[in-house]
Amino acid sequence: MDPSTPRTDPPPPIFTKGRIGFEVIVVLALSLGASAVYSIVQLIDLLTRPTSLGSQTATINQTQSARAWLDLTYQFLGIAFAIAPVLLVFHLLTLSGVNPFKRLGFDASQPLRDLRRAGLLLAIIAIPGLAFYFVGRALGITVNVVPAPLDPSWYTIPILILSALRAAITEELIVVGYLFERLGRLGWNTWVIIGSSALLRGSYHLYQGFGPFIGNFVMGVVFGWFYTRWGRTVPLVITHWILDIASFVGYAWAVATFPQLFK
């Protein structure tokens, strides 16, 4: 064969089960799978300290610098780069020959229906989620979660809203949309997929204690079951975003309005 002649051998199959499995591992290792591993290690750290779990505190959205412009820069960069795994997921789904926005139901084709569905999810999730946290605090199996800085700045609220959106997009598009698609291709049973996704969701909240783990596991089961019925991540993202805004911004507002309660 003339070495100058291009090879015409057929390319190897891209989407074998082995390659899909490896792809899932890489995506999770670059995103929420890594968060789950760190969270488990953090829980072990908390459990092996002299003080009880319920007496400890976990702070979310911490201030990154005492200088405002640097803190804002760090916060914004952290949010922006956290979206990168979602872009990777979109790219990988495109390689599968599908439109990732349609495949994951992440588009504006059903705005009113998605809003109604989000309202339903809020009604189902919001109060039980708070209950799991406060019951966990009462039982001493949940740390005191501080979801926003105690010294809010002018940019705190916008950054918290963006942080809530980042969490909603990354968690729902990766842990539900992408994972359900890929595990389905591997032939996993629907309820095994739902349970695995919910377990992952609960695991990366373990740094907050066992109450949030249980609450997020239940949330994962509910979200997963409705996703199998609707085939859309938009209602999940909207619900998650609203819940986190209420948690992050509500706390920041309370700190600014009633500072004496947080001294």
Instruction: Give residue for tokens 């799978």.
Output: 33
Q: Return the DSSP state at 142.
A: B
Per-residue pLDDT of the chain (263 residues), as tens digits, is: 444 445 555 545 567 889 999 999 999 999 999 999 999 999 999 999 999 999 998 889 888 998 999 999 999 999 999 999 999 999 999 998 889 999 999 999 999 999 999 999 999 998 888 888 889 889 999 998 888 776 778 899 999 999 999 999 999 999 999 999 999 999 999 999 999 999 999 999 999 999 999 999 999 999 999 999 999 999 999 999 999 999 988 877 766 666 655 55
Rounded to whole angstroms, how far apart are CA atoms 256 and 179? 39
Predicted TM-score of the model (pTM): 0.90
Of 94, 111, 120, 88, the closest CA to residue 229 belongs to: 120
DSSP H or E stretch at residue 223:
helix 210-230
Rounded to whole angstroms, how far apart are CA atoms 42 and 152? 26
